[in-house]
Amino acid sequence: MAKVFDCITEEQQGFIAAQNLFFVGSAPLSPTGHVNLSPKGLGCFRVLSPNRVGYLDLTGSGNETSAHLQENGRITFMFCAFEEPARILRLYGQGKTILPSSPDWDSLSSLFFPMPGTRQIIVADIEKIQTSCGFGVPLYEYQGERQTLVNWASKKGEEGVREFQQQRNLVSIDGLATPLSKLS
């Protein structure tokens, strides 16, 4: 059954690295605000230390996680095994958005493969790790990464992606400002 840890173990790091998909959860403080849950892939997640993780965040239709982190910092990551053995791993922590203009950008971005459409890096200090059985998670076969988002960003080019971000990534669906709004 469920077990709780204070830091990410080496074995858990291996499990995380083997997953092709992870989920990011965040929420605003408002009780009427929308909880956000985003699936992520493309090999963009890194364990930075036993209590720190980060992922390269690509430009998408919304920027909910970044807005929520700016408001309250709360973030949860979930990894599921879709092959045997069954397992779920959750990371609970406090996160922040690192923009390309940040002094930390160069050192953090060097840990990731460069990707067209990169918007920001989400970094989180992990306070609690929980594992659970995952027996209810179905078995799926990994076929590969979709290249649609990367191709879209490549086709738009840096200026086109920046314009898209200015049009669609400055506020959350609940009207919360994102860190990108400070740059406009």
3-56 residue pLDDT tens = 999 999 999 999 999 999 999 999 999 999 999 999 999 999 999 999 999 999
Instruction: Record the pTM.
Output: 0.96
pLDDT tens readout for residues 140-179: 999 999 999 999 999 999 999 999 999 999 999 999 999 9
Q: What is the pLDDT of residue 6?
A: 98
Rounded average pLDDT over 102-115: 97
What are the two backbone dihedrals, phi and then psi, of residue 102, each rounded to the nearest 5 degrees? -75, 145
Q: Name every residue whose Cβ is closer than 8 Å to that of residue 100 and which is 6 or more positions away in sequence.
A: 109, 118, 120
Q: Name every residue whose Cβ is closer than 8 Å to that of residue 90 and which is 6 or more positions away in sequence.
A: 76, 77, 78, 79, 129, 130, 131, 132
Helices (H), 19-147: 64-71, 105-109
Q: Residue 117: is its pLDDT beyond 80?
A: yes
Ramachandran assignment for 157, one of left (phi > 0), alpha (psi -120 to 50 degrees), beta (any other): left
Q: Residue 184: is its pLDDT beyond 90?
A: no
Locus of tokens 């400002």: 177
Q: Residue 1: is its pLDDT beyond 90?
A: no
Locus of tokens 């996160």: 95
Q: Residue 119: is its pLDDT beyond 90?
A: yes
Q: Name every residue whose Cβ is closer than 8 Å to that of residue 156 and which is 6 or more positions away in sequence.
A: 117, 164
Locus of tokens 């990169």: 118
Q: What is the pLDDT of residue 52?
A: 98
